């Protein structure tokens, strides 16, 4: 027979998390409706993006430069995310860790140079 009482703290944690997240989502909507600040008008309900109304088909293709910039941002954001734990544990991982990170940074620099030469960073 399996003792399920060990799972009680996990279930309690999940119940509290679900209750708090529901309260943070639905309580402001309820307060807004009760206090009278819920007054929809066509301007509030209109769809917008980047501060101006849409004027083209929403299924139109984006320029590939948007994706290139997003991919470059993700790459260098991940680099920053890897550098912090590496720098904190550098004393314990020694020269092998230092060499591995220098190879990683060198590969990223090569990628940046390639993107720069291809014109991915140029914006017209």
Whether the Cβ atoms of residue 121 and residue 65 lie closer than 8 Å to each other? no
Average pLDDT over residues 52-69: 67
What range defines the domain where residue 12 resides?
4-118
Closest-CA residue to 108 (of 75, 82, 83): 75
- pLDDT category at 122 given cuts 50, 70, 90 is confident
17 assigned to some structural domain = yes
> What total number of domains does the chain contain?
1
Residues sharing a CB contact under 8 Å with residue 54, sequence separation 6 or more, in sequence order:
47, 48
Average pLDDT over residues 50-56: 58
Average pLDDT over residues 37-66: 67
124 assigned to some structural domain = no
Average pLDDT over residues 71-82: 83
Whether the Cβ atoms of residue 79 and residue 108 lie closer than 8 Å to each other? yes
123 assigned to some structural domain = no
pLDDT of residue 51: 55
Average pLDDT over residues 13-26: 96
User: Model pTM?
Assistant: 0.45
């Amino acid at each position: 027979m399996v003792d399920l009482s060990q799972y009680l703290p996990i279930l309690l944690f999940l119940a509290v998390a679900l209750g708090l997240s529901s309260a943070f989502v639905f309580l402001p909507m309820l307060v807004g409706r009760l206090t009278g600040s819920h007054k929809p008008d066509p301007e509030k309900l209109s769809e917008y993006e980047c501060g101006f109304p849409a004027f083209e088909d929403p299924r139109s293709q984006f320029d590939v430069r948007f994706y290139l910039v997003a991919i470059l941002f993700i790459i260098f954001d991940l680099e920053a995310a890897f550098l912090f734990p590496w720098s904190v544990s550098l004393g314990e991982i020694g020269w092998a860790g230092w060499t591995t990170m220098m190879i990683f940074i060198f590969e990223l620099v090569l990628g940046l140079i390639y993107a720069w030469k291809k014109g991915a960073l140029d914006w017209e």
